[in-house]
A = this chain, B = another copy of it.
Amino acid sequence: MVTSSCFVDGKPQAALALNDRGLNYGHGVFETMRLCAAQLPLWHYHRERLSQGAARLGIALDLPRLQVYLQQALEAFPADGMVKLLLTAGLGPRGYRQQGQAASYVLQYFPLPSPPLEPAALCLQLCQYALPHNARLAGIKHLNRLDQVLAAAELDEGVDGLLLDVEGHVVEALSSNIFLFDGHNWLTPELTLCGVAGVMRRLLCEEIIPALGQRVLVEPIALSELINAQEVFVCNSVRGIQPVSELVGRGDWSAASSRLPESQTQEVMTHLARVYPCFAA
């Protein structure tokens, strides 16, 4: 990794001090953002979630300062790829109590994952690890991610993980949110007790799907509802939308319409690509 591909508090730097609360306690939040023509097209959504996460965790986010660091980084990074932003509660003495520290701002460049944005047939595997409920941490993208690490450890090669909560409700995929079309409506899980409320999920719920004259029902979703769905896709703010072809051993949407040009999924993908061309397949 070259030095100019990462910045800490505005300085080219590839390491973070050992006394940072991000490392010691996971006291921080992060955003993984699509970078396109030296712009972050979904920055306004990322900024809002970041602010919400910082407020929940008591992190003193200085937005004007972050904007300066971000501008500097975007000038140094390649024009296309992704930017990972880590905001931590900053350097401090040992101990769980925060003492009014200034936050740490980490910006890193990564190339896009390959295959870049091809809407390949995605295969999901049901994880046995169940997400615990915690309303205080649900929705935000904090740095305590052992749930995802333990779930990921179960997975076979080449599949993504489907996560349920401790009550057996569908929550999300390993690093994306999930939508299903039941023949009438789009549905996506409510994320008030666990899960990460993705930026692409919000964009689809608030802008893209309503513009098609449809709306998204945000509610608890049973595994059986998912299995019986006509179409299923996952989404995140780096890859956009990916149709799901299969839930290993339980659900098969490969013959379904989600990959056909006239499918509901394709209609959403097409409109997303119209409004945000970087997410064109």
Contacts and interface: CB of A to CB of B under 8 A. Distances in A.
Interface stretch (A19-27, A66-74, A182-190, A213-221): A19-27
A49 interface: no
Interface string A141-158: 011111011111101000
A97 interface: yes
A212 interface: no
A106 B18 CA distance: 8
Which of A18, A27, A151 has the most B CB atoms < 10 Å from its CB?
Answer: A18
A136 B149 contact: no
A6 interface: yes
A86 B23 CA distance: 10
A55 to B, nearest CB: 12
A76 interface: no
Which of A24, A58, A132 has the most B CB atoms < 10 Å from its CB?
Answer: A24
Contacts of A89: 149
Contact of A146 (B25, B108, B155): B25
Contacts of A19: 1
Contacts of A57: 146, 149-150
Nearest to A134: B132
Interface stretch (A9-17, A37-45, A118-126, A246-254): A9-17
Given A14-B18, A174-B96, A146 B137 contact: yes
B110 A153 contact: no
**Size class of the A contact interface (CB-based, 8 Å):** 35 or more
Given A17-B15, A24-B145, A152 B1 contact: no
Contacts of A1: 18-19
Given A24-B145, A25-B146, A14 B17 contact: yes
B110 A25 contact: no
A175 interface: yes
A143 B27 contact: no
A77 interface: no
Given A18-B14, A155-B97, A27 B149 contact: yes
Which of A1, A17, A94 has the most B CB atoms < 10 Å from its CB?
Answer: A94
A133 interface: yes
Given A14-B18, A57-B149, 14 more contacts: A8-B18, A14-B17, A15-B15, A23-B86, A25-B146, A27-B149, A95-B152, A95-B175, A96-B148, A96-B175, A97-B152, A98-B152, A136-B150, A144-B144
Interface of A: 1, 6, 8, 14-27, 30, 32, 57-58, 84, 86, 89, 94-98, 106, 108, 110, 129, 132-134, 136-137, 142-146, 148-153, 155, 174-175
